[in-house]
Structure 1
Amino acid sequence: MEACSASQFKKDINIIIGRQIMILRKSKGLSGQLLAKKLGVSQQQISRYERGKCKIDIDSLIIILVDMDFSFDVFFRRVFNELRDNATYSYELSCAMFECELITDLITENKTNFNFW
Structure 2
Amino acid sequence: MNFIHLLSTEAVQHVTIHCLNTPVWAAGPSLQPSSRAVSFKAWTGEKIQAGDLLEPLIPKDDCWIKDGRWHQTHFVFQTQDPNLLPIVDVYNLPSTEPGASFHLEVGPVCFL
TM-score of the superposed pair, with normalisation by structure 2: 0.31
TM-score by length of structure 1 reads: 0.30
Q: Which protein has greater RCO, CA pairs closer than 8 Å, 6+ apart?
A: 2
Higher helix share: 1
